[in-house]
Amino acid sequence: MKVQEFQKFESRAKNLSPLSVRNYVNHLRYLYVWLAGAHDLDETTTEEIIEFLMSERERGVSARTCNIYLTSFRNYFDYLVRFHGLAKNPAANVDKMKVENMLPMYIPEHIMNDLFVNRLVGKSFKALRSRAAIAVMYMSGARCAEVCNLSDMDLNFVENKIFLYGKGRKQRCVPMCSSLQRILREYMEVRNASVKVQEPALFVTVDGFRLGDRMMRVIVAQALCQVVPKKWCHPHILRHSFATVLMNHGKRIQDISRWLGHVSIATTQRYLTICANSEADNFDVVF
């Protein structure tokens, strides 16, 4: 197997984020485990890839996730074709599964208000960290990985801006409302007083090291489970909620698309279908 070489290539030559590369490797590991030692991963056939994806669907994995797996396989075997003499890419002609065009799930505004006013009210380091992390996701539309990658220098309290680094390491700037500024300042004050920060990270562990993606997801789930069903307790629903709130308050779709970092405005237009009204409000009033 050439997985480690592939990992370095995707990271260095393609400049992909560590999270994207780690996901590629994990997907290849799933396929390798499924093969159960029948042969080396590099000898996988088209039929085996199809069978693996079908077995994942039968196991309850969504069609969207299976398509993500397929993308990882295509990239890996394309690497082998280009640099290691593989005759052809066995994943190249495997069709992606049809994905249902589901409306984005979001948490209604009054429930999020209740979460911040009545639930996330502790004053300890961990409590304030949870409140601040969820506030960043909900009030800036940041993805979980983007929040984990934030540093103090990405916050501009003078110009009321937060700088996020999204997919493909593209930078975007989102307005930072007064509510988010207040929550972040309170967290950072307690963090600086109680934790010896070991690296330039906004969100850190009690030992001062950058908070990882897995732990961030646990923090979000523990907070959201107080107000919504378990299936809604994941970071991305806060991104959907951010877009929906802005749409409901009449913000321009072009601005929302830019703040979300969407390549195409067509992606943002999904939120029009669940928009309640079109009365315009100032960004700071929304949150």
The candidate with the shortest Cα–Cα distance to 78, out of 9, 27, 29, 19, is: 9
Distance CA 248, CA 203 (A): 30
Q: What percent of the chain has pLDDT over 70?
A: 97
- Predicted confidence at residue 246, as pLDDT, reads 93
Supply φ then ψ for residue 270, to 5 degrees.
Answer: -55, -30
CB proximity list for 268: less than 8 A, separation 6 or greater: 243, 253, 256, 257, 260, 262
For 233-267, the pLDDT digits (tens) are 999 999 999 999 999 998 999 999 999 999 899 88
Token pair, residue 87, equals 């005759």
**Which of 93-102, 177-186, 247-256, 267-276 is predicted most confidently?**
177-186
For 112-142, the pLDDT digits (tens) are 999 999 999 999 999 999 999 999 999 999 9
- Predicted confidence at residue 273, as pLDDT, reads 73
- Predicted confidence at residue 130, as pLDDT, reads 98
**Complete edge-to-edge strand list for the sheet that includes strand 161-165:** 155-156, 161-165, 171-175
Token pair, residue 203, equals 């969100």
Q: Are 271 and 247 in contact (CB under 8 A)?
A: yes
Distance CA 67, CA 182 (A): 41
Which H or E run contains 163? strand 161-165
For 208-224, the pLDDT digits (tens) are 999 999 999 999 999 99
Distances (CA, A) of 108 to 29, 157, 235: 38, 28, 15
pLDDT at 286 over 90: no
- Predicted confidence at residue 277, as pLDDT, reads 59
Q: Are 174 and 138 in contact (CB under 8 A)?
A: no
